[in-house]
């Protein structure tokens, strides 16, 4: 034990080092990464966005960042499965903490999130957002598109989120509509996976419906995504309600008939060829969770996103 330390989120001496905290103790950051606002020499940044004022059903996703950080302690700093590597040996990752939002003035929320995200993106670091409801993806998309141009959207969800938007709504069900109309997302190269509700408009976005996900194997789903997006820079967003409620009960708008966490993770694992410029995991609402089922799924999705990034950086080294 003499070589071990605790509270790595504060005591870490290097941001490329593994942590040794016991799973059940220590300060909780995402995967025990050092809490820092310093972006110099950082490869990837985890940013919490505790916002849920845009939900159409059950609130509570403002507690999602806390729940995902807590659940991420289960990752014990051995080589992370299935990436067979210490993700942080070559990839410097920090937990940037949360965006400070004014709970009494939600109209300020998009600009506050976008400003924080833009600062991180300008540093050259990869940004992984932890929500929060799905509205938070809108300002994250804006910040990424400002640097990279219109992006293909790779969107795991039970909902299309293409309900009509007047450009001012604070609504987790219309951000895709706004992103398409404002030229932030290229609908011709975008794809949605797991959809099992109807919306009045699809904007020409390719959809793999929930029943198709059930009928297809993970490799076939991944191949469809890779073929459709191609080499276009893309943004990856994962609404935890893409999963069946059996695997993600802790969310605001659960819909039966979704994939298992195992199948969704298998698809994610096969997306390494995509040019992913940023990503997020949203809609984890721990008040409706059981035994951290949803939080663990959300934390694992986030870890896979970092795993794909670590592999990408390794190939460039």
Is 239 within any annotated ligand binding site? yes
The residue among 8, 3, 29 whose CA lies nearest residue 19 is 8
Is 52 within any annotated ligand binding site? no
Task: Please say whether the beta carbons of 272 and 303 come within 8 A.
Answer: no
Is 241 within any annotated ligand binding site? yes
How far is 65 from 74, CA to CA, in rounded Å? 15
Q: 215: left (phi > 0), else alpha (psi -120 to 50), else beta?
A: alpha
Is 159 within any annotated ligand binding site? yes
Is 171 within any annotated ligand binding site? no
Is 157 within any annotated ligand binding site? yes
DSSP assignment of the chain: -TT--S-HHHH-S-TTSPP---TTSS---GGGPEE----TT-SEEEEEE---TT-SS---GGGHHHHHHHHGGG--SSSBTTTTB-TTTT--EEEEEE----TT-GGGHHHHHHHHHHHHHHTT-EEEEEESSGGGHHHHHHHHHHHH-SBEEEEE-SS-------S----TTSHHHHHHHTTSB-GGG-EEEEE-S--S--TT-EEEEHHHHHHS-HHHHHHHHHHHHTTS-EEEEEEGGGS-TTT--SSSS--SS---HHHHHHHHHT-TTS-EEEEEEE---GGG-STTHHHHHHHHHHHHHHHHHHHHHHHH-
How far is 211 from 82, CA to CA, in rounded Å? 27
- By DSSP bridging, strand 93-98 and strand 206-209 are unpaired
Annotated binding site for Mn(2+): 134, 157, 159, 161, 239, 241
Annotated binding site: 134, 157, 159, 161, 239, 241
């Amino acid at each position: 034990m003499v070589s071990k330390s605790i509270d790595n989120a504060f005591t870490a001496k290097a941001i490329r080092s593994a942590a040794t905290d016991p799973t059940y103790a220590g300060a909780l950051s995402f995967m025990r990464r050092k809490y820092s606002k310093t972006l110099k020499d950082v490869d990837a940044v985890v940013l919490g966005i505790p916002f849920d004022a845009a939900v159409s059903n059950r609130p509570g996703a403002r507690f999602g960042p806390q729940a995902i950080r807590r659940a991420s302690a289960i990752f014990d700093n051995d080589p992370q499965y299935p990436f067979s590597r210490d993700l942080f040996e070559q990839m410097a990752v920090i937990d940037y903490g949360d965006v400070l939002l004014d709970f009494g003035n939600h109209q300020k929320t998009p600009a506050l999130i976008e400003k924080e995200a833009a600062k991180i993106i300008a540093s050259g670091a990869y940004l992984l957002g932890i929500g929060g409801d799905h509205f938070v993806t809108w300002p994250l998309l804006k910040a990424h598109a400002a640097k990279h141009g219109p992006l293909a959207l790779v969107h795991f969800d039970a909902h299309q989120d293409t309900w009509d938007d007047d450009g001012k709504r604070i609504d987790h069900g219309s951000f895709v509509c706004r992103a398409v109309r404002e030229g932030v997302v290229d609908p011709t190269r975008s794809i949605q996976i797991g959809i099992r509700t109807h919306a009045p408009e699809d904007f020409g976005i390719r959809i793999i419906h929930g029943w198709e996900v059930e009928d297809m194997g993970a490799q076939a789903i991944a191949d469809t995504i890779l073929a459709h997006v191609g080499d276009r820079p893309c943004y990856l967003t994962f609404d935890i309600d893409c999963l069946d409620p059996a695997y993600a009960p802790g969310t605001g708008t659960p819909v039966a008939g979704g994939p298992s966490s195992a199948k969704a993770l298998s698809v994610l694992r096969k997306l390494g060829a995509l040019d992913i410029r940023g990503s997020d995991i949203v809609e984890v609402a721990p008040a409706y969770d059981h035994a951290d089922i949803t939080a663990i799924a959300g934390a694992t999705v986030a870890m896979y996103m970092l795993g794909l990034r670590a592999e990408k950086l390794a190939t460039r080294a």
